[in-house]
Homo-oligomer: A and B are copies of this chain.
Amino acid sequence: MTLKIVAIAGGVGGAKLAEGLYRVLPANALTVIVNTADDFEHLGLHISPDLDTVCYTLAGIANPETGWGRDEETWNALDNISSLGGPDWFRLGDRDLGMHLERTRRLHDGQSLSEITAQFCAIWKVNAQVLPMSNHPVATIVDTYEGELAFQEYFVARRCEPVVRGFRFEGVQIAAPAPGVLEAIEAADVVVICPSNPWVSIDPVLAVPGIREAIQTKPTLAVSPIIRGQTVKGPAAKMFVELGIKPSAEAVAAHYGRLLSAYVFDRADAEQTKAIEALGIMSHMTDTLMNGPKDRQRLAGEIIEFVQRVIVETPVKSYL
């Protein structure tokens, strides 16, 4: 099996499938391109939530309960910040803080986020390429009926309560793909869009000039993050509703539109098969819920089989 895969991922949900692919594929066959539009500065530290979740998950050092943060974590620094009346709304454990301090130090030293990520992944013995979508700052701004909110303000402080009416990715017009991103897509046999939030995890990646165009030239498969009109985690379904779209596996496929050549969705949404195929997309129905490492690898294995059967054998997208 020499299939080269590029996965596009956001945080927890995306990291789960990325890990499944990583465990199933041979070493160095996987590149994960990760959303960094949620990145922000906090306590003087560069925070990159999705990138960290993907790296920790592939490294096998993620907190198995939460999906984000480090395993065997302690919280003494944050407890102390809290006791001094400081901002404790963003949960940074002690081990995690060590990584953040060292990463921020290297960034201030002039190294790029992608270089540092590669260095850390080497130390963590991650035999996959993990790339931030860009080394340039991009910030998701959530437009709500209460006004525009920075992503973390919307996501953490306001718990996704404000009703959204749109999104913009500040800075994305002048953001270049991180070194290696376009090369990895170019070298890939297939691009897999992980079951992450289409609006705020995947769209920012696709908005980086050059990335959508590169993906467009490749067989591309997405996995639905929506099952029975709901998400396992996060506000994707709520966002569809607020934007006037019924949340469904089909709605996600329609959202990605012409980018997709294949689509994987849950058995629970069997009745949507015709609608999805009417979009001109080859589909595969299976159990997409990833409760544990076994589920992740099983789903990843099915995706790879499906890809080899229907996509790689068909080198050019039918609609091109």
CB distance from A225 to the nearest CB of B (A): 31
> Interface stretch among A100-108, A244-252, A292-300?
A100-108
A98 at interface by CB-CB < 8 Å = yes
A84 at interface by CB-CB < 8 Å = yes
Q: Using A44-B108, A74-B74, A108-B44 as known contacts, say yes or no to A98 and B85 having CB atoms under 8 A apart.
A: no
> Interface stretch among A29-37, A75-83, A126-134?
A75-83
Bound-state CA distance A73–B73 (Å) is 14
Bound-state CA distance A98–B87 (Å) is 11
- Secondary structure at chain A's binding surface: helix, strand, loop or mixed? helix
- CB < 8 Å neighbour of A99 from B45, B80, B94, B95: B80
A315 at interface by CB-CB < 8 Å = no
Q: Is the CB of A85 within 8 A of B123?
A: yes
A97 at interface by CB-CB < 8 Å = yes
- Please give, as numbers and ranges, the residues of chain B lying within 8 Å of A99 by CB-CB distance: 80-81, 84
CB distance from A44 to the nearest CB of B (A): 5
Report copies per complex: 2
Q: Is the CB of B86 within 8 A of A123?
A: no
Interface range on chain A: under 10, 10 to 19, 20 to 34, or 35 or more?
A: 20 to 34
A43 at interface by CB-CB < 8 Å = yes
- Please give, as numbers and ranges, the residues of chain B lying within 8 Å of A44 by CB-CB distance: 44-45, 101, 104-105, 108
Q: Is the CB of A43 within 8 A of B97?
A: no
Bound-state CA distance A96–B205 (Å) is 38
Known A-B contacts: A74-B74, A77-B101. Give 16 more (CB < 8 A): A43-B101, A43-B104, A44-B45, A44-B108, A73-B76, A76-B76, A76-B94, A76-B95, A77-B77, A77-B94, A80-B95, A80-B97, A84-B102, A85-B119, A86-B102, A97-B101
11 residue pairs A–B, Cβ–Cβ below 8 Å: A44-B44, A74-B76, A78-B98, A79-B95, A80-B99, A81-B102, A83-B123, A84-B102, A85-B123, A94-B94, A97-B101
Question: A residues engaging B (CB < 8 A)?
Answer: 43-45, 73-74, 76-81, 83-87, 93-99, 101-102, 104-105, 108, 119-120, 123
